[in-house]
Structure 1
Amino acid sequence: MPSLTPTGPLLDVLEVLIDAYTADAMVDGWTMARRARRPGPVVYNVIDQLEDADWVSTQWEPVNDRNRDRRRLYRLKPSAIASARALVRETAPVRHATPRPGLAHGRTATA
């Protein structure tokens, strides 16, 4: 199992996945990108890393009668939730003290 390097994008995606796990929900990649405030390709790169590390499970959303393609849904595995929470917790003081790129100092992004 490959180790995960705690980058900003990885930690942002993990926070979204932890929230979804706590809510007993699965989340699609584009929703993850919006909530993590990261571009889609960056989020999908992180998802690939999490899949390689065996931290997430995936499934296709059920067939819908909307006029759109089905989405791939993701969820942290129970075996990874403690490690994910620890990784996010360990880096929280450093991450929240540093402004995000593209944001003026002292300002926060809006959802």
Structure 2
Amino acid sequence: MAKKIIITEKNVSEKVKQFNAGNLTTGRAYIIGEGWQDIQIDEAFYNKSIGEIVALIGGRPETAAKVKFKLRNEPFHHWSASRFVWEESLQRWAYIAGQDYPAEITQIRNFLKK
């Protein structure tokens, strides 16, 4: 069994071309030059990432708690998972909207708080 690559805030862009919420919650990513692999995410980076994604999704404190729990405990399999991306130049997470940011965020929040 291959050793899992550890993803940190400092090395994420060296290892993964575009790191997204799907990669974060499933523990799998396409590693540059090596293909799809299971990954291990540094705890500090993982916690920061979940917090920032929850903040992007927004909502009341009860909703944010539900969203945070779901992101921490279930793989995020939704069309929007690839739109939450780590922005290396800004050192933070961003959501890349389609045509209607407010409607998309509402749909994502409703999906995650179930």
Task: Give the TM-score of the pair, scaled to structure 2.
Answer: 0.29
Task: Give the TM-score of the pair, scaled to structure 1.
Answer: 0.30
Structure with more strand by fraction: 2
User: Which structure: larger Rg?
Assistant: 1
